[in-house]
Amino acid sequence: NEIACALGCEQGQSCREAAEVLCNGIPFEGDIPGYEEARSVLQEVPVLTIGCDSASLVKPEDAGAFIITGSHGGVIAGRPDYGIAAEARGAVFNDAGVGIDRAGTRRLEVLDRAGIPAGTVDAMTACIGDAVSAWESGVLSYVNLQAERCGVKAGMTVPEFGERLSL
């Protein structure tokens, strides 16, 4: 960010180098702004679309909705067959930079087996942990076979994915 750049941080620096530079900054004084993960209705028609900053906020009663999360699309440690807490009409996650062996997209396979169309947004197009960001600016990086059967392709926006679910 601008403050880190002003202190001398540069893209490509090691974390250690950046930390040393940041230690030269003036410590923040004041109240730290609060943050809570959120759930919201992003749209009601043509498909009920629910945004959850974390996949942990998805509820079983969200069944039938198009669920947009800010969570990574990787499988959950110790729960390799877990996809999402509701029988969603469709689901979107963040690819979190994809990672080694496409780790940030592996949940798509689990959801495919469950019959749920799903995709990930490119982490460079939407903030991780922010469902509204995924909805407003996210561009799909990967989709599963169920999503492809609905006409969804990588490169589409998240609202375009939702439109395909309503056809």
Q: Please write the tens of the pLDDT for every residue from 36-64.
A: 779 999 999 999 999 999 999 999 999 99
Q: What is residue 12's predicted lDDT score, i.e. its pLDDT? A: 92
At residue 81, φ and ψ (nearest 5 deg) are -105, 10
Kind and range of the H or E run holding 26 = none
Mean of the per-residue pLDDT values of the chain: 93
Instruction: Give the integer Cα–Cα distance in Å for 112 and 69.
Output: 17
Query: What's the chain's Rg over C-alpha atoms?
Result: 18
Q: What is residue 128's predicted lDDT score, i.e. its pLDDT? A: 95
Instruction: Give the integer Cα–Cα distance in Å for 132 and 52.
Output: 8
Instruction: Give the integer Cα–Cα distance in Å for 14 and 33.
Output: 28
Q: What is the model's pTM? A: 0.81
